Amino acid sequence: MTQIDTAAVPAAAAYRALEDRFARISRIGDALGILHWDMQTTMPDGAAAGRGEAMAALEVLSHEMLTDAAVPDLLGEAEAADGLDGWQQANLREMRRAWRNAEVLPGELVAARARAVSACEMVWRTARAEADFAKLLPSLSEVLRLEREAGAAKAAATGLSLYDALLDDYEPGGRSARIDQMFDELAGFLPEFTAAVLERQAAQPAPVVPTGPFPAAAQQALGQRLMEAVGFDFTRGRLDVSLHPFCGGADDDVRITTRYDEADFLRALMGVLHETGHAMYEQGRPRVWRGQPVGDARGMVLHESQSLLVEMQVCRDRPFLGFAAPLMAEAFGGDGAAWAADNLYRLSTRVSRGFIRVDADEVTYPAHVILRYRLERALLSGEMELADLPGAWNEGMAELVGVVPPDDRLGCLQDIHWPGGSWGYFPTYTLGAMAAAQLFRAARDQDAEIEPALARGDFAPLMAWLRTNVHEQGSRLSTDETLEAATGSPLGTAAYIRHLKARYLAT
């Protein structure tokens, strides 16, 4: 970070004091990240209550440091400083944003949310396994009540709607009115397009499904081999198993997880590659600004764009699968037509109307997201009672996806997001898919070496482009500014629709 003569410039000393404070807050966030990873991977169930208290204490400590009475004065003094460079000014902007979002929430609410989420996540594990939504209802009701309270407080302070106030935590500057417009465009395009893809697919011979079993240890070894090809640094991260795949951890200690099915190796493998995309963003953020708000990832739209760019745009495409197919066959001792690159491509891009969001193909996936987006808005606004969620979920699945889940495990209990307190997160998945299409198209247009390199399993040219245009930008720019600088356009549906047409109807 640029050095400032703090003795000569008192206002600059205020900025330096803020940097020190936010660096300490970031370290608390690192500790919380590792505790959360442990809770999802190795923590015994009996430790849940104590872990919830420990995490709540750290959340409150971080909140107290951020909302200390000295912070607004320091912000005011620092904003009056001369000589701050562009990165420092952006960092100061992000500091004020973080303070503004935190100071409207009382510490008691912060602690209550942390405890409620920790408890609800543990109940969700059992309720999901037993397909018993009623078992989750009391604890999820408490999480929803607290999310409404937090959203209402933020909305009152910012003038946003309750939903937009919560969305802003995951996508700074994101607004539901704009999401509605883009989702309406997709909702108008996808039904007819999906029907055409399914009709075309049905007229072709079905791909050959490799026969298992596929031992979990062999799947893990293959996943790690391909993570290394993408560029994941195992000296600063690791791969583990959890009930719901995620990427988390801390600066320079990025933890990703997956879940294995010994009857279907592609499911876990693509999950690993998806989370590796997230991890590459985390490992590629600007090192000099680690621990500062401007050094954080911009938001979940860009974060999801990185995971979906790696998984969907690259690793389910022909060039990469030409490289990966022999490695897959070697990992499981496979041979014959099932292990041919073209067959694996057809399997990896197979479209079907399924129950599970994380296993959905990219044609039907947006419908899963649009459903969750509509439901969480209705739940937060009070237009729908939480007890009515299973029925509303099934009705929405019938309308948007064309299938009805046989039970709640395959329905409204499949995701950890709402039990985990992530209300307002879901739309970023499909917005991220749109951003991924824009970014990958621009990268290939700007560097002709990217596609041939991917066919050799060499991600270096692509990652160099992403480092420069996304990862190393941190939070210096908004999502739209980042996309405009990299691709020439703000976020929109055009590149995504063009990608779907090219992959599913033109080839």
Same domain for 281 and 403:
yes
Inside any domain, residue 2: no
**Span 216-232, pLDDT tens digits:** 999 999 999 999 999 99
Instruction: Please answer whether residues 24 and 293 qualify as being in contact, where contact means their C-beta atoms are separated by less than 8 angstroms.
Output: no
Inside any domain, residue 249: yes
C-alpha 14/C-alpha 69 separation (Å) is 14
- pLDDT at site 506: 86
CA dist list (Å): 180 to 184, 199, 431: 6, 29, 11
- From the centroid of its chain, how far is CA 281? 11
Average pLDDT of the residues in 175-201: 96
Query: Range of 22's domain?
Result: 10-157
Instruction: Please answer whether residues 62 and 28 qualify as being in contact, where contact means their C-beta atoms are separated by less than 8 angstroms.
Output: yes
pLDDT of residue 287 exceeding 50: yes
- pLDDT at site 211: 94
Average pLDDT of the residues in 236-253: 94
pLDDT of residue 49 exceeding 70: yes
Inside any domain, residue 348: yes
Inside any domain, residue 164: no
Same domain for 188 and 110:
no
Inside any domain, residue 5: no
Average pLDDT of the residues in 304-311: 98
CA dist list (Å): 191 to 236, 367, 400, 421, 438: 43, 9, 8, 31, 22
Same domain for 256 and 211:
yes
Same domain for 383 and 270:
yes
Same domain for 488 and 382:
yes
Catalytic member of 59, 275, 304, 376? 275
**Amino acid letter, 251:** D
Last residue within a domain, chosen from 157, 189, 207: 157
| 275 is an active site residue | yes
pLDDT band for position 421 (cuts 50, 70, 90): very high
Same domain for 243 and 336:
yes
- pLDDT at site 147: 97
pLDDT band for position 1 (cuts 50, 70, 90): low
Same domain for 180 and 149:
no
Same domain for 266 and 405:
yes
Structure tokens that stand for 336 in this block: 């014959």
HEC-encoded secondary structure of 301-312: HHHHHHHHHHHH
- pLDDT at site 6: 41
pLDDT of residue 8 exceeding 80: no
Same domain for 291 and 439:
yes
- pLDDT at site 507: 67
C-alpha 131/C-alpha 164 separation (Å) is 31
Secondary structure (DSSP) of 191-238 = HHHHHHHHHHHHTSPPPPPPP----HHHHHHHHHHHHHHHT--GGGEE
C-alpha 504/C-alpha 422 separation (Å) is 32
Strands 237-241 vs 253-258: parallel, antiparallel or unpaired: parallel
C-alpha 438/C-alpha 86 separation (Å) is 26
Average pLDDT of the residues in 412-428: 97
Inside any domain, residue 168: no
Listed in order, strand segments (DSSP E) in 391-447 are none
Inside any domain, residue 163: no
Same domain for 199 and 145:
no
Last residue within a domain, chosen from 94, 128, 157: 157
Listed residue (457, 469, 384, 461) closest to 418, CA to CA: 384
**Span 358-379, pLDDT tens digits:** 889 999 999 999 999 999 999 9
Listed residue (302, 305, 430, 306) closest to 373, CA to CA: 430
For the chain, the first-to-last Cα distance in angstroms comes to 49
C-alpha 479/C-alpha 243 separation (Å) is 31
- pLDDT at site 12: 84
pLDDT band for position 176 (cuts 50, 70, 90): very high
Greater pLDDT, 118 or 11:
118
The CATH number given to whatever domain includes residue 239 is 1.10.1370.30
**Span 443-490, pLDDT tens digits:** 999 999 999 999 999 999 999 999 999 999 999 999 999 999 999 999
- pLDDT at site 243: 84
Same domain for 302 and 189:
yes
- pLDDT at site 87: 97
For the chain, what is the domain count?
2
Per-state percent for the chain, helix, strand, coil, to nearest 5: 70, 5, 30
Would you mind telling me the total number of residues written for the chain in this entry?
507
Average pLDDT of the residues in 23-33: 97
Average pLDDT of the residues in 486-505: 97
Same domain for 326 and 423:
yes
Average pLDDT of the residues in 329-346: 96
Work out the mean pLDDT of the chain and round it to a whole number.
95
Instruction: Please answer whether residues 370 and 399 qualify as being in contact, where contact means their C-beta atoms are separated by less than 8 angstroms.
Output: no
**Span 61-80, pLDDT tens digits:** 999 999 999 999 999 999 99
Inside any domain, residue 170: no
